[in-house]
Amino acid sequence: MSLPLEGLSAVVTGAGRGLGRAEALELARLGAAVVVNDYGQPGRDGSGEACEGPAEEVAAEIRAAGGRAVAHTGDVADFAQAHGLIELAVAEFGRLDVLVNNAGILRDRMVFSMSENEWDAVIRVHLKGHFNTTRFAAAHWRARSKAADGPVYGRIVNTSSEAFVAGSAGQPNYAAAKGGIVGLTTSTALALAKYGVTANAICPRARTRMTEDVFAGLERPEQGLDPLAPEHVAPLVGYLVSPAAAPVNGQLLVVHGGLVAIVERPRVHARFDTKQDAFTYEELDAVLTPHFAQRPRGETFAAVEVLGLRHA
């Protein structure tokens, strides 16, 4: 019996460690040939010299298990290097079928003390990095579709975060980037559907180098798989890039510890119509102030359901 991704080729960014590594290994296990991208900087804030080690190690692990993989150590936030990443997949495997965007860094700071560089660096790697690879992958699929005079096979999975809806007080740059990724994903889904390409985003919870502080208080179980292991996330990515997920497009899914939740698009919570030609300050005060006074102080625009971790 053939594997679900047999004959397909994939690019996974930020795949030298953590989530990206688990995703690259899972796609290879399902039959895909994989380009393992990782810039290889040792610091989770993007500090330190880039190195080939992490990407090469994961690619070697895939090959040792009988799969096909090559390493790419370029910076996806650099427009030209992102182009080279997509070109490498096409050169090595004949075409690109799957793009999984995962690369990111952290520069945590409260909004009142964040520097311009701390803001720009996180937006650059997360949001611009997602755009760069998407732009060149989309051009590849569009050209193939025009040549074939019909739809082709293309899958994009982007990595967002619940921080974009729930907020993250010490990560305004990260939360903004992750919100932008959702907007990029839904726009891409609409633009590329006619070419046969889908684009979806995930909000994963996983214990990685990026989240070691966030989940420091949650102990690993003595037996069984850690509910926060990246291996809980990778199977959903494998599904979303498979032929079985052809109807899934423009969706946002939360995933962790044996749980997958599909997030609805924002809905109108309350509506007020003016009784005049246009609202006045006094009328808005009369309808909006009582409404917000009834809600808990500090509640943000979206009430986010807390999805508990499942423990074995």
Instruction: In whole angstroms, give the CA distance from residue 254 to residue 40.
Output: 27
Q: What would the DSSP string read from start to end of 213-234?
A: TTTTTSPPPSSS--TT-GGGTH
Q: Dihedral, CA atoms, 43, 203, 157, 109, nearest 10 degrees?
A: -30
Q: Under DSSP, is residue 33 helix (H, G, I), strand (E, B) or coil?
A: strand
Q: Please identify every residue annotated as catalytic.
A: 161, 174, 178
The amino acid that residue 290 corresponds to is P
- Determine if residue 33 is left, alpha or beta; phi over 0 gives left, psi from -120 to 50 gives alpha, anything else beta: beta
Q: Tell me the sheet residues that pair with 256.
A: 259
Report how far apart, in Å, the C-alpha atoms of 116 and of each of 45, 122, 180, 210 are: 15, 10, 18, 21
The amino acid that residue 51 corresponds to is C
